[in-house]
Amino acid sequence: MPRPRRSGRLAEIALPAAGVAVGILLILGPFLATVIRSVLYWEPAGANLSLKNFAGLLSDPRFYQAAGNTVLCGAGATLMSCLLGFSLAWIVSRTDLPGRRWFEIVNLVPFFLSPYVGAISWIYLAAPHSGILSHFLSDTFGLPPDLIPIYGIGGAIWVLSLFYTPYVYLFVIAPMRQMDPALEDAARVHGAGFWTTLRHITLPLLYPALISGALVVFVTSAGLFDVPLALAAPKGIRTMPTEIFQLVQYPSDFGRAASFGVIVLAVTVLLTVMQRRYLGRRRYETVTGKGYRPRIIALRARGRIAAFALEAIYIGAGVVLPVMALLMVSFSSIWTGRLDPARLTTANYDYVLFSYSLTRQAILNSLFLALVGASAGIVISVLQAYYVNRGNRKRRALVDAVLSLPLGIPGIILGLGFLILAIRTPLYSTLAIILIAYVARFFPFSTRTISAMLLAINPELEQSARASGATWLQTMRHVLLPLLLPAIIAGWLMLFVIFIRELGATILLYAQGTETISVALVVLSEHSIGRVAALAVIQLILLLFAFTLFRATRASLLG
Amino acid sequence: MAFLSIRNLRKSFDGLVAVDGVSLEVEEGHTLALLGPSGCGKTTILRCLAGLETADEGAIEIAGKPVFDHAAGINLMPEERELGIVFQSYAVWPHMSVAENVAFPLMVRGVPKQQTRERTARILELVGLTAAGHKGATALSGGQQQRVALARALIHEPRLVLFDEPMSNLDAQLRAQMRMELSVLQDRLAFTAIYVTHDQAEAFALAERVAVMNQGRIETVGEPRRVFHRPATPFVAQFLGLNVMPGRVVAAEGEFCRVALAEGVEMWGGAASPLPEGTAALFCVRKEHVAVRRLAATAPATGEPPAEQVFPAQIRTASFLGLQEEYIVAIGGVELGSIQPPHGFAAGERAEAVIRPADCVVFADASAG
């Protein structure tokens, strides 16, 4: 049977390579567009190659303010997320706190929520004079009603930390569980107390995981548009994402925006490379594949209270209070900062679901983008994961490194790249360009999820199918894909969640008729907070639905 | 007063009893081996000694100082017990160099740097790792990591050193070598040690006294030779690899009794305790004591009991072990393992089995109703 064999071989080589090629094009396109645009400068005579955009940017004090504030936001959020994420992971994986299995799941919920909605709900909670908590504190304790500085860098760091804590948590919880307990036991027996052991043994052993988590949190939280838009911009505090957004609004300066983008890209790539080199040097075999039972520490009364308090603060601030605030505001006709039974209404929902064509269309657009985008993304992710784990040995590492690049690139920067690419083409102002940008920015997430599972599948399973006479395609269909199904579902759901709430890239690419839920929230926020809250609740329901499905797949979130 | 004394220690996990009322004493400078199959509770005892588990009942005293006493509410933290420990997984810290690993017990005790350096160099020389001090700990082989763990457990001169199956991850040759080295180290440094293992050769070679454990209890404790030559219980006999066969006592004569085994085969053996006729019994004989020889014309010895009993037998299986051969020998319906110098018997051959009653032990069978 020479014929089917040959076509089988072609598929085996071409399909994974095609997945990789699409991925590289999706990265390279906006990347090159941004770089090229940054060195083009329009003078009356026409466009010139020049560094004037950079010169203009670097001589503008606003650039330094924005950069400084962004680094501050990122660093603050990283520090707090590391502290919270490490503590919460330790509490649920290493102590006997009652209810820890329940906390283990609930700690992840903020991972699935929208940071923009989180920021809005924290405004409802803590805004001076009108926030629910502000009222509560001034009514109950007589504290000043503008006590909580929710607007500003501090507020942004607070909300960012709530949403990025699960990243650190996920990065450290697995090695924390799988670490040989004898490593800590040996330290204790040889004379180190609990805290000395934590400092000299446990923490250093978890550094690789902690640093990976910290880097992801730093680049993604610093690059996030949503939270500064809601919490820093109203006070006139400049940040990188809001500044880039301003630069492409009328009167726009794409050259300067692009040069800002190039600097951000350079920093992001540099950080990623540094992290890879650091991890390359110190990848410990703390995980030996042996099934260790982690040593569970019996908390004493005070420790138990502290652990409970930390969990209560995190879940309260990250999930319970924001959702409560959203619900209260969305069911009120006029919001005064207190729930008034006389003003309860469902009119806000009526309005966003049925009366207002923009929000109606936005919900449909978001659903379309999430469903189609997640499906397209997962297909190229499977192919890429296959290439990275089974393909050409020499190129694997490089391909893996290149395909991981968008992980750190802020959505608004990638959006800018696609905007520059598409602005003079028919793609501009279509849902298609938003779809392409979504897939380009987020496919590495699902590729990692699938790659992690593929890594654990012994290639001999496929080889025995081939030896039994199956073609490559048959082997994929009957052996590998069924084995990968949990990761495929998990990756798909993750993309769905991300796409439902995406704002940074969309805000630059949307046009009339292609608004998404998140864009509609921004547009609505200029009119009525009740309607914003109602739409946010609708988005929240979609996200929680995906989270529930995700729990059912039992797949792991990070590769 | 013994250096280490454990009194009536009990520990269960989720209702499953791991240690069931164990009392033990160890003299200063001696080694006690806890020997037994996996799950017998030996590691739990070790972890209770280290303070890594908290026993449910009982008391532990080291050098006259109580470190755990359930009744008195005493339970010292592991770091307060002044011990050294070597784990099965070595537990060498991968983020530290060999020297940092070894110096850790001194570092946490705030020993001055100069002194730490000197003591580290001395102990590394003692375990033969002088050249490896600056290396990353995970760059070492299993045997070398074992030495790092050993050096780390000894450097602060602890009063008691605990070994948790330290050799079971090493290959056979390395294990024999490490056993010798450990013996030499112990002679030189004269530390008291508890050594947990499931390998009888290791226990007998290293310990002054051996305690054989089964289901959380101590079956027997004594000098290696006594434990080995006179198995105290049927479990010990089985664990040490003896043939153990159920039967019934049909005659008793002084210290000896005759036991009816399967299908009418009867054998004489020494009774562990006086066993009246009709007692359900377990008949135990070491494989090395089941001799096999070519069929001979000589008449079997007589007497009650005879000095040797000769049975017509058939070789069921034969396997070549090098200096010895192992057979399964059928005497009537009774199958016995036999380890002998190479005779070259093949499976299926007829032979004579010779068993001396003095080499056999008969226990009352407590499990039979």
- B274 pLDDT more than 90: no
Q: How far is CA A323 from the centre of its chain?
A: 20
Nearest to B108 among A185, A191, A207 (CB): A191
Q: Is A304 helix (H, G, I), strand (E, B) or coil?
A: helix
| CB interface of B with A, residues 137-166, below 8 Å | 138, 149, 152-153, 156, 162
- Residues with Cβ within 8 Å of residue A6, at least 6 apart in sequence: none
Q: Which pLDDT score is estimated for B254?
A: 85
Q: Which pLDDT score is estimated for A283?
A: 52
Q: Which pLDDT score is estimated for A1?
A: 42
Q: Which pLDDT score is estimated for B226?
A: 92
Tell me which residue has tokens 């069929």: B295
Across the interface, do B50 and A189 touch by the CB < 8 Å criterion?
Answer: yes
Q: Which pLDDT score is estimated for A280?
A: 67
- Sort out which chain B residues have CB atoms less than 8 A from A204's CB and list them: 93, 95
Across the interface, do A182 and B88 touch by the CB < 8 Å criterion?
Answer: yes
Q: Which pLDDT score is estimated for A548?
A: 86
Query: Residue B297's pLDDT band (boundaries 50, 70, 90)?
Result: low
CA distance linking residue B319 with residue B57, whole number of Å = 49
Across the interface, do A189 and B149 touch by the CB < 8 Å criterion?
Answer: no
What number is the average pLDDT over the span B289-315? 81
Across the interface, do A190 and B77 touch by the CB < 8 Å criterion?
Answer: no
For the sheet with B65-69, list strands across it: B16-26, B4-13, B57-62, B65-69, B74-75
Q: Which pLDDT score is estimated for A556?
A: 53
- Sort out which chain A residues have CB atoms less than 8 A from B138's CB and list them: 284-285
Q: How is residue A365 written in tokens? A: 């657009």
Q: Which pLDDT score is estimated for A76?
A: 96
Q: What is the 3-state secondary structure (H, E, C) of A31-77?
A: HHHHHHHHCEEEECCEEEECCHHHHHHHCCHHHHHHHHHHHHHHHHH
This model's pTM is above 0.90: no
Q: Which pLDDT score is estimated for A138?
A: 86
Regions of chain A with pLDDT less than 50: 1-4, 285-289, 558-559
- In A, minimum Cα distance to B156 occurs at A190
Do the bridges between strand B309-320 and strand B350-355 make them parallel or antiparallel, or are there none, so unpaired? antiparallel
| Average confidence score pLDDT of chain B | 90
- Is B85 in the A-facing interface, judged by CB distances under 8 Å? yes
The pLDDT tens digits of the residues spanning B83-134 come to 999 998 888 888 889 999 999 999 999 999 999 999 999 999 988 888 888 8
Length of chain B: 369
- Sort out which chain A residues have CB atoms less than 8 A from B149's CB and list them: 186
The pLDDT tens digits of the residues spanning A365-378 come to 999 999 999 999 99
Measured between alpha carbons, how far is residue B4 from residues A426, B61, B192 in Å? Answer: 86, 6, 9
Q: Is B339 helix (H, G, I), strand (E, B) or coil?
A: strand
Across the interface, do B109 and A191 touch by the CB < 8 Å criterion?
Answer: yes
Q: Which pLDDT score is estimated for A252?
A: 86
Nearest to A188 among B79, B82, B152 (CB): B79
Q: Which of A509-513, B70-74, B128-132, B247-251 has the lowest mean pLDDT?
A: B128-132
- In A, minimum Cα distance to B52 occurs at A185
- In B, minimum Cα distance to A193 occurs at B79
Across the interface, do A204 and B87 touch by the CB < 8 Å criterion?
Answer: no
CA distance linking residue A155 with residue A374, whole number of Å = 32
Long-range contacts at A260-266 (CB < 8 A, ≥ 24 apart): A260/A57, A260/A63, A261/A34, A261/A38, A261/A413, A261/A416, A261/A417, A262/A34, A262/A35, A262/A38, A262/A54, A263/A57, A264/A223, A264/A240, A264/A409, A264/A410, A264/A413, A265/A31, A265/A34, A265/A35, A265/A409, A265/A413
Across the interface, do B153 and A196 touch by the CB < 8 Å criterion?
Answer: no
CA distance linking residue B49 with residue B78, whole number of Å = 9
Length of chain A: 559
CA distance linking residue A370 with residue A446, whole number of Å = 14
- Is B105 in the A-facing interface, judged by CB distances under 8 Å? yes
- Residues with Cβ within 8 Å of residue B243, at least 6 apart in sequence: B284, B285, B286, B287, B290, B336, B337
Q: Which pLDDT score is estimated for A3?
A: 47
C-alpha distance from B91 to closest chain A C-alpha (Å): 5
Identify the residue among A178, A189, A287, A292 best suited for mutation to test binding to B, counting B beta carbons within 10 A and taking the highest: A189
Q: Which pLDDT score is estimated for B327?
A: 94
> CA dihedral in degrees (A299, A302, A305, A309; nearest 10)?
-110
Cβ atoms of A148 and A133 closer than 8 Å: yes
| Average confidence score pLDDT of chain A | 88
